[in-house]
Amino acid sequence: MNEYFKEQLDLLKLERRVDEETYEQNIRNTGVQQQRENGFVWYPIAIRGQDTGRGGYVSLEVERTTHQHLIHTLQSGRKAELFSNYNPDEAGAKGIIQHVGGDRLRITLFVDELPDWTRHGKLGIRALFDDDSYDAMELALTTAGNTYDQNRLTRILTGKAVPTFDDSLPPVILPYLNPSQNEAVNKVLSANDLAIVHGPPGTGKTTTLVAATLELLKKTSKPLLAIAPSNTAIDLLCERLAQKGVRVVRIGNPVRVSDELQELTLDHRISVHPDFKRIRELKKRASEFRNMAHKYKRNFGPEERQQRKALFAEAGRISHEVAHLEDFITEDELHRAQVIAATPVGAYHYAIRDLSFDTALIDEAGQALEAACWIPILKVKKVILAGDHLQLPPTVKSEEAARKGLTLTLMEKCAGYHPEATVLLNEQYRMHEKIMYYPSETFYGSRLQAHESVRTQTLFDHDLPLEFIDTAGCGFEEQPVSTSFVNPEEGQLLVTVLFDYLRGLKLENTRSDEITVGVLSPYKQQVERLKSMVTAHPDYANWSSQLTVNTIDGFQGQERDIMVIGMVRSNSEGKTGFLNETRRMNVAMTRARKKLVVIGDSSTLGAQPFYERFITYAQENEFYRSAWEYMDS
C-alpha cells in the first residue's frame, strides 16, 4: 500500500479506537436515564406499527412518548437496537434506523419475528456504535492506497501530479454572479480533474456552486454526485438545486427536514413511483402469511409445524420479490436523476455503492475528514472541493490522531498543493466592513471586500458595528468545571450589555421584531449558564423567538444581525486553552451582520498574538470599552 494512505489509515484507526471507547464508557457505565440524557436512547417508546421490511425482516414504527425535548443521535442509516428495560440483561434486537421524523422513527430489525420479551413493555431504542462509517472510510483508504499508481486523480490530490485545465472553452459570464464567482464557475468548467472553490463567510459559495452545477449539467447527461459532511449542508445544497428545477435524489433520510426536502429523498421517490403500488400489495400479502404462521401455538405437531414453515417460506418468497422490485425502482429513479446527493459515508449506500460518476462536488470540504472524502472520490474522474479550510476543522476525538494530522483536511492540503486550481470568492454580502476587516486581514490576506449593500449597514445611525468590552481588573476569574470553564461574572455582564442594547434598539424605533440575535461562548458549560441567565431576564419574553444561545461550533454556517461573544478565559497565567484555535474565532466573528460585541479579559487574551492584534484594532478604531463603564452605570 502507498505510504501516504497507510499513514491516513493508522490515524483513522486511532480515532476509531477512542470513539468506540468513549461510546462504550457512555453505555456501560450509565443507566438508561443517563443514556437518554446523553442522546443515545429513546426511552420509553411505543410501537405504532409493524410491517415486513426489506429482505423479510421486521420493520417497526416507534414513537418516544416522553422526554421529547431531548437532543439525540438517532438518525437514518445508524445501527440501533430495540431493548427492554423490564429485563436489562436480555440481548436486544439489532437493526438499522430507516427514517427519523419528529418523535417517530422506523427501524428494520434483523429478525423475522419480534422476540417474546417485547410483550412485557418498557421498551427503548438505543443507538449503537457507528462502525459502518469507519468500515467505509477504511475500505476507501485501502483501495486508494492499493490503486495509487493507476489513478491519476489520486496522485493529484496527494500533491504528486499536477491538475490540468481545458483553456479552449469559451468563458461563461453569468450576470447574477460577481467577478470572483464567475471565475470560480469557469474554473470548475475547465478543470479536467480538480477545482477548488474557497468561499469565506458570506461570499455566496452556495450560489456559486449551484450556478456551476447548472452549467456542468448542460454539458452532460450523466448525474453529478454532490456530497457534504453534514445533513444540514447537503440539504441546503439540495434545496437550492431543486429550486432551480434540477432533479435531485437525496440518498438517506435526513433528520428533521422540511416536507419539500423529504420529497427529494430516494425513499420518497420510490414511494411515488408508478410500480410502488405492486410493492404495497406484495407486502400486505407477506404480512398476512406471517400473521397466519404466528397463530400457531408453541405446542403443535409435525403437520402444523410443516404448515407454519410453509407459511413463513411463502412470506419470505414474497419479500424477495419485493426486494427485487425495489431494486428495479431504485435503479430507475437514480437513472433519471441529474444530481445524486449524500453525505460522504452516504456515498457507500447500497443503492449507489457500485455506481461511478464523472464529477463529484464536495461542499464544506474544509469540515470533512479526509478519509470520508475518499469514499466519493474513488467513484469519479473529477472532483470539486468547496468550502473554507480557514474556519473550523472536522471534530476529532483522539488527541493523538489530531496532533499527528487527522484534522488536516484534503481541501487544505490541495489548496496548498495546487493554488492554480483554487479560486477565492472575495466579495462578501454579510458583514459591515469594520466587522469584516480583522478576519479578512488575518485569514484572507486582506483580499475580502464588502459588497455595497452591507458595507456600512448598522442597526441605527451612528451605532458602532464592533465593540470590545475589556473585563481586565474587574476580578471576573474563570472557574474550571469538569473539562470546561465558566465565568459567572462575565456572563452576568454579557446579559446586562445585551439587554441594555436591545432596549436601546426599541428607543431608536428600529424594526426590532425582525432583528436576529446570537449569544456565543466557546465553552459548553458557560453556554448552559448563559441560557439560564438570558431566559431569566425580564426582557427575554420580548426576544425569545429571535435570540439564540449556543457554542461557537454550533453557530458555524449561520449568521445573526447581532452577535455577542463571551470569551470566558480570565487568569493570571495568560492561558487561553482551545481559544488558541483561532479558526474558531474566525467563525465567531464572522457570524455578525451589523453588530459584533466581544467581551473578554485583555490581560489574559492579550498573551496570544491573535487576540492582542484584535484588541489593538479595536482601540485604534475607538471600538474599545472598559467593563467598568457598564458596571458603574
DSSP secondary structure string for all residues of 316-376: HHHHHHHHHHHHHHHHHHHHH-SEEEE-TGGGGSTTTTT---SEEEETTGGGS-HHHHHHH
**What is the per-residue pLDDT across 419-470, written as a single tens digit (0 to 9) for each?**
999 999 999 999 999 999 999 999 999 999 999 999 999 999 999 999 999 9
In the three-class reduction of DSSP (H, G, I as helix; E, B as strand; rest coil), residue 61 is classed as strand
pLDDT at 322 over 90: no
pLDDT for position 272:
81
**For 112-121, 181-190, 287-296, 455-464, which range has the lowest pLDDT when averaged over its residues?**
287-296
pLDDT for position 20:
92
- DSSP secondary structure letters along 68-123: TTS-----TT-EEEEEESSSTTSPPEEEEEEEEETTEEEEEESSSS--GGGGG--E
The better pLDDT of the pair 263, 45 is held by 45
Q: State the Cα–Cα distance between residues 623 and 108, nearest whole angstrom.
A: 58
In one letter, which amino acid is 589? Answer: M
pLDDT for position 632:
62
User: How does the average pLDDT of the chain come out, rounded?
Assistant: 90
Residue 502, C-alpha cell as written in the block? 436591545
In one letter, which amino acid is 562? Answer: I
Query: What pLDDT band is residue 256 in, cutting at 50, 70 and 90?
Result: very low
In one letter, which amino acid is 628? Answer: W
Residues of the chain with pLDDT > 90: what percent? Answer: 64
pLDDT for position 260:
64
Q: 104 and 62 in contact (C-beta within 8 Å)? A: yes
Residue 607, C-alpha cell as written in the block? 498573551
Q: Give strand ranges (E) for 500-580.
A: 517-521, 547-551, 560-566
pLDDT for position 121:
82
| Cα 425–Cα 427–Cα 430 angle in degrees, nearest 5 | 115
- In sequence order, the 6+-apart residues with CB closer than 8 A to the CB of 206 are 236, 237, 240, 363
pLDDT for position 259:
55
Q: 111 and 81 in contact (C-beta within 8 Å)? A: no
Work out the average pLDDT over 49-71. 82
Residue 321, C-alpha cell as written in the block? 420479490
pLDDT at 87 over 50: yes
pLDDT for position 257:
46
**For 225-239, 297-311, 354-368, 536-550, which range has the lowest pLDDT when averaged over its residues?**
297-311
pLDDT for position 56:
65
**For 18-22, 51-55, 622-626, which range has the lowest pLDDT when averaged over its residues?**
51-55
Nearest Cα to 427, choosing from 391, 445, 451?
Answer: 451
Considering the entire predicted model, what is its pTM? 0.85
pLDDT for position 261:
73
Query: In the chain, what is the greatest distance between 2 CA atoms, to the nearest angstrom?
Result: 93
pLDDT at 298 over 60: no
**For 31-40, 80-89, 293-302, 504-513, which range has the lowest pLDDT when averaged over its residues?**
293-302
Query: What pLDDT band is residue 22 in, cutting at 50, 70 and 90?
Result: confident
**Residues counted in the chain:** 633
Residue 627, C-alpha cell as written in the block? 467593563
Q: State the Cα–Cα distance between residues 531 and 592, nearest whole angstrom.
A: 19
In the three-class reduction of DSSP (H, G, I as helix; E, B as strand; rest coil), residue 468 is classed as strand
Work out the average pLDDT over 155-181. 97
pLDDT for position 254:
45
Work out the average pLDDT over 179-191. 98
Q: Buried (b) or exposed (e) across 245-283, using 16+ Cβ within 10 A?
A: ebbbbbbbbbbebeeebeebbbbbbbeebeeeeebeebb
Cell 481541501 locates to 411
pLDDT at 352 over 50: yes
